[in-house]
Amino acid sequence: MIPISKPDIGPAEEAAVLEVLRSGMLAMGTRTKAFEEAWASYCGVKHAVMMANGTVAQEAVLHGLGIGEGDEVITVSFSFNATVSVILRAGARPVFVDIREDDFNMDPAQVEAAITPRTRAIMPVHLYGLMADMAPLEDIARRHGLVIVEDAAQAHGAAYRGRKAGQFGPAMFSLYATKNLMTGEGGFATTDDDDVADRIRLFRNHGMRVRYYHESLGTNYKPGDLAAALGLAQLTRLDERTEQRRRNAAFLTAELSEDYLTPTVPEGRDHVWHQYVMRFPGERQRVIDGLTERGVGTLIYYPVPIHKQAYLQAYVPGAADLDLPVTNRLSDEVLAIPVHPKLSQDDLATIVRSVREVATPVAR
Ligand SMILES: Cc1ncc(COP(=O)(O)O)c(C=O)c1O
Digit-coded pLDDT (tens) for 100-125: 999 999 999 999 999 999 999 999 99
Residues 49 and 97 in one domain: yes
Average pLDDT over every residue of 192-211 = 97
Residues 203 and 330 in one domain: no
What is residue 195's predicted lDDT score, i.e. its pLDDT? 98
* CB half-sphere exposure, 100, CA atoms < 13 A: 21
pLDDT at 364 over 80: no
Ligand 1 atom nearest to 86, measured from its CA = 4
Domains in the chain, number? 2
Any atom of ligand 1 within 6 Å of the Cβ of 75:
no
Residue 41 banded pLDDT, cuts 50, 70, 90: very high
The runs of H, that is alpha helices, within 24-133 are 30-43, 54-64, 82-89, 111-114
CB count in 10 Å sphere of residue 285: 11
CATH code where residue 195 lies: 3.40.640.10
Ligand 1 atom nearest to 57, measured from its CA = 11
Given 235, 267, 290, the domain boundary residue is 235
Q: Measured between alpha carbons, how far is residue 257 from residues 216, 246, 263 in Å?
A: 54, 15, 8
Largest CA distance in the chain: 67
Any atom of ligand 1 within 6 Å of the Cβ of 53:
yes
CA of 213 to the centre of ligand 1 (A): 32
Rounded to 10 degrees, what is the CA torsion of 241, 247, 248, 254?
170
Cα–Cα distance between 274 and 128 in angstroms, integer? 5
Residues 230 and 243 in one domain: no
Tell me the residue range of the domain where 90 lies: 11-235
pLDDT at 363 over 90: no
Any atom of ligand 1 within 6 Å of the Cβ of 176:
yes
CA of 259 to the centre of ligand 1 (A): 32
In tens, the pLDDT along 225-256 reads: 999 999 999 999 999 999 999 999 999 999 99
What is residue 331's predicted lDDT score, i.e. its pLDDT? 98
Q: Is residue 3 part of a domain?
A: no
Q: Is residue 1 part of a domain?
A: no
Cα Rg, the chain, nearest whole Å: 21
In tens, the pLDDT along 304-354 reads: 999 999 999 999 999 999 999 999 999 999 999 999 999 999 999 999 999
Q: Which residues are paired to 191 by β-bridges?
A: 47
DSSP code, position 92: -
Q: Is residue 141 part of a domain?
A: yes
Ligand 1 atom nearest to 55, measured from its CA = 11
Given 235, 251, 272, the domain boundary residue is 235
Residues 32 and 148 in one domain: yes
Residues 127 and 87 in one domain: yes
70 residue type, one letter: G
